[in-house]
Amino acid sequence: MKIKNFNIDHKSPVFIIAELSANHNGSLNTAIETIRAAKRAGADAIKLQTYTADTMTLDVHKPDFMLSQGTIWDGKYLHDLYKEAYTPWEWHKRLFEVAEEEDLICFSSPFDSTAVELLEELNVPAYKIASFEITDIPLIELVASKGKPVIISTGIADSKDIELALDACKRRGNDQIILLKCTSSYPAPIEEANMIMVKDLAQRYNVLSGLSDHTMGSTVPIVSTVMGAKVIEKHFILDKSIGGPDASFSMDEKEFTEMVKGVREAEKAIGKVDYSLTEKQKKGREFSRSLYVAEDIAKGEKITEKNIRAIRPGYGLHPKYYSDILGKSVMEDLEKGTALSLNHFA
């Protein structure tokens, strides 16, 4: 599948997304500079979140609406958190333009139908379904109906949730689906990353898979690459000192750059299944063992365990012939250090 000009398949490079989220901290200029920094750090895309506090929840100060799940936001009311964190809708057009200037793909996570309407007006090239929206089947159907790639995080999903989401896309004739392994903790403990799921998601559901990561550092993204991730999403911030709801588990430019470097090196290290040797490897065989004359042997004398040895370098006869030539007579005088060949025997 293609997201704008980036082709994503099993042979393509990993599609690396910098998640802006709330890391603009209420400043359009910060949001713009964050997009430019994401480009410098090696991202392929910048992702926004399109919602308002009122499209997410109710402005109600009742116990049900206060966060108390062991998150970094515990004690806040949902409406207050989203009011602080949202990206103003009037910024979207400018942010898409900046991304275009930087040759970055820009798309978003919508959280209701009005957000989808806005993103369609901006000709968004793909949609992201956030982990907590995987149960919003009407939203998934609406997004899928637009005929664009749909990236779905699975942070709170069991297998039934995933199946329902996939079915929703397919009902709308959309099979351009990428499932992301995600641990919906902020930050997420590395021991809960469970990167083997990246491979299983792809195999079990016959889709492309990847990672939406909230762990600290680059280890998990790099491991996900080895496990077959074709998309990696990581929260990105211009400067952690500006603070904000997501700052503590976001990467700054230096950290993101190092992650991208690690992912790209991991891609090179994975390579391909190939038992043939490169020219360098062939040259290296010169340091393998082979059969050499270990002491002078006169013409007609027999080969013994004493007068030949398997040693380095590898210019002589393959050691697999060792047992075959024991007891055979040589056809000429052989000096110590001579590389043996089959031509030395009758």
The pTM of this model reads: 0.86
Give span(s): CATH 3.20.20.70, the chain. Answer: 2-51+86-270
Contact between 182 and 131 under an 8 Å Cβ cutoff? The reply is yes
Any bridge partners for residue 210, and if so which?
A: 180, 231
Q: Give me the mean pLDDT over the 159-163 stretch.
A: 97
Confidence band, pLDDT 50/70/90 cuts, at residue 246: confident
Question: CA 180, CA 208: separation in Å to the nearest integer?
Answer: 9
pLDDT of residue 272 exceeding 90, the answer is no
Question: CA 50, CA 173: separation in Å to the nearest integer?
Answer: 24
Please state which CATH number belongs to domain 279-344: 3.90.1210.10
Give span(s): CATH 3.90.1210.10, the chain. Answer: 279-344
Question: CA 69, CA 72: separation in Å to the nearest integer?
Answer: 9
**Token pair in block for residue 80:** 């207050």
CB atoms within 10 A of CB 35: 27
Question: CA 220, CA 151: separation in Å to the nearest integer?
Answer: 19
- pLDDT at site 58: 93
Question: CA 67, CA 60: separation in Å to the nearest integer?
Answer: 12
Confidence band, pLDDT 50/70/90 cuts, at residue 199: very high
Please report, in angstroms and rounded to a whole number, the separation of the first and last CA atoms in the chain. 64
- pLDDT at site 76: 84
2-51+86-270: CATH topology: TIM Barrel (3.20.20)
Question: CA 293, CA 236: separation in Å to the nearest integer?
Answer: 65
Confidence band, pLDDT 50/70/90 cuts, at residue 207: very high
**Token pair in block for residue 226:** 């080895």
